Amino acid sequence: MRTTLNINDALLDEIKERARTEKRPVTKVINDVLRMGLSSQPTTPQNLRIPTAKVGIKDAYKGMSLNQLYDQIESEDHLRVAEE
């Protein structure tokens, strides 16, 4: 059956290279690669636990985004330097 696909240029280059190396038509390489991909079992994501540590953040900083926190600390540092 004929169909039209949009394939990423880098992937198409890899497919063409594999076809050239194996001396096989591009169509057969694409069919084989798709068949292998469809027959493989999808992997289930594993729960990742990242250990945390208390860093003693000031209550005034709690609930701020990282950008807000950075801006606040930078402005406090600028004021500290200006006072010196």
Residues in CB range of 7: below 8 A, 6 or more apart:
15
pLDDT in the model for residue 77: 84
Q: Could you give phi then psi for residue 48, rounded to 5 degrees?
A: -110, 125
Share of the chain above pLDDT 70, in %: 99
For the CA atoms of 28, 29, 34, 37, the dihedral, rounded to the nearest 10 degrees, stands at 140
Rounded distance, CA 8 to CA 71, Å?
40
Token representation of residue 80: 């500290």
Output the pTM of the full model. Answer: 0.48
